[in-house]
Amino acid sequence: SLLDISWFTDSMETGRPVEILDRHRLQVSAPRSDPEEPRISAYACQRRTPLDHLNKIFTDASEVLAENAEFSESEGRGLAFRKAGSVLRSLPFAVSRMEDLRGVPCLGEHSRKIIQEILEDGVSGEVEGVLRSERYRAMKALTGVFGVGVKTADRWVREGLRTPGDLLTSGHRLSREQEAGVRYYEDLNCPVTRAEADAIGEIVKEAVHSILPGARVTLTGGFRRGKEAGHDVDLLITHPEEGKEEGLLGKLTSWLDSQGVLLYQRVSEGSGGRGRESGPMDHFHRSFSILKLGEQPGAPPGPPQPGASSAGQTQEAASPRGQGGAQGRGWRAVRVDLVICPYSQFAYALLGWTGSQQFERDLRRFASQERDMSLNSHGLYQREQVRTPPPPHCISESSPPLSLSLSLSSPPL
Ligand code: DCT
Ligand code: MG
């Protein structure tokens, strides 16, 4: 059947030898470990992908082309460049000629053409063209506003807007999220350092512990993978006694607000992690927030400014052109995701929130295509469990997710 054929070809792509046992039986063996010809998996989750790697010149190019494709809502093309970037990151050698790429999966014709251009000329004309293009620059600047997606940015670019400053003078009515995005534009586009992420973690930990002793706060996302900088701080919060985490998010954000730390927040109610689905998005109670961090990591940000209270309605430090930065003002704004999860789902949530995006994507694809299972941040399920979901609120009792042997103290993935 078609299904069998796709399974068969995927197995071949992952570099696993297939033996023909008889007319009706094929056997897929363990990956070959031939040092002469190491096979590279087509799944990012089966590759070692170090943060520091040897092919930056090519991965930078793939990233620009992926972004540019996403700006045109060409998801397929964007994904192809993301996959190419991911596999290039995993190569243990610097690519110096096209022959080096023999047998490397996930590199389409277009990606290979770009690599060839860079090998021959030192740069890719296509990438240079994108970087110079007015549309790309404007889309980059406008999607850099927190709360502005590709569709909205595209509409504004068609109207002639180019920068967040243009947005303020255009008279467009902005959502509360976009207003915060413009107000803290410079800060939110300035990478968050590891020290700043740790300082935010400490502020949140102190708040959580004063509300719910014994709760655990874990720094996830890029920082858990060892990155030195990121675009936000992802914090996963749980409590070893299942159920105690309920209602925590509201109390936590009220506490942060009372301390003058909460500059903005939007809460996604989710279902407190009680629901599950076959899609990758999770159902956790979550706050997309902007927090205020004092200049010295860990230092209190100072008293709230006049009129700067009441849950994210703050008007302080509004920069007239959306350019207000941290310099000289003694604090900076930081994007923080606060995610609450029930303890029984913590291992899955930690795995799902650690990333990278490509690693997660392929881990879910691996579960589905190679194991006929479904993985998300709530659990790992047999396929038929997903097809016939049990009634709501009975999930953990009637059909617990399969156990995942992930040590809570495991090193970054
Ligand atoms: N994630 C995912 N699928 C997505 C988006 C995110 O699986 N479509 C997971 C993986 C990473 C985690 O959520 C946090 O997301 P980001 O903060 O966007 O990623 P990051 O790796 O932490 O990147 P950065 O360092 O820039 O914050
Ligand atoms: Mg992050």
The candidate with the shortest Cα–Cα distance to 359, out of 183, 252, 229, 220, is 220
* Separation CA 259–CA 255 (nearest Å): 6
Residue 236 Cα to ligand 2 middle (Å): 12
Nearest-CA neighbor of 237 among 259, 206, 193? 206
The vertex-367 CA angle with 361 and 373, nearest 5°, equals 130
Catalytic site residue 337? yes
Atom of ligand 1 nearest to the CA of 232: 27
Which one of the ligands is nearest to 359 CA?
1
Binding-site residues, ligand 1, Cβ < 6 A: 221-222, 227, 230-232, 234, 280, 352-353, 355-357, 360
Atom 25 in ligand 1: residue holding the nearest Cα? 230
Task: Quote the CA–CA distance of 325 and 184 in Å, as a whole number.
Answer: 7
Per-residue pLDDT of the chain (413 residues; tens, 9 = 90+): 344 444 444 544 455 555 556 555 556 555 545 555 568 999 999 999 999 999 999 999 999 999 999 999 999 999 999 999 999 999 999 999 999 999 999 999 999 999 999 999 999 999 999 999 999 999 999 999 999 999 999 999 999 999 999 999 999 999 999 999 999 999 999 999 999 999 999 999 999 999 999 999 999 999 999 999 999 999 999 999 999 999 999 999 999 999 999 999 999 987 655 555 545 568 999 999 999 999 654 455 544 443 334 444 433 443 434 445 676 789 999 999 999 999 999 999 999 999 999 999 999 999 999 999 999 999 999 987 554 444 443 333 334 455 444 433 333 33
* 6-44 CB burial, b ≥16 within 10 A, e <16: ebeebbeebbbeeeeeeeeeeebeeeeeeeeeebbbbbb
Pocket test for ligand 1, best of 232, 341, 362 (most atoms within 8 A of CB): 232
Chain centroid to Cα 303, Å, comes to 33
* Ligand that lies nearest to the alpha carbon of residue 193, given by its number in the listed order: 1
Entry pTM: 0.81
Please say if 234 is a catalytic residue.
Answer: yes
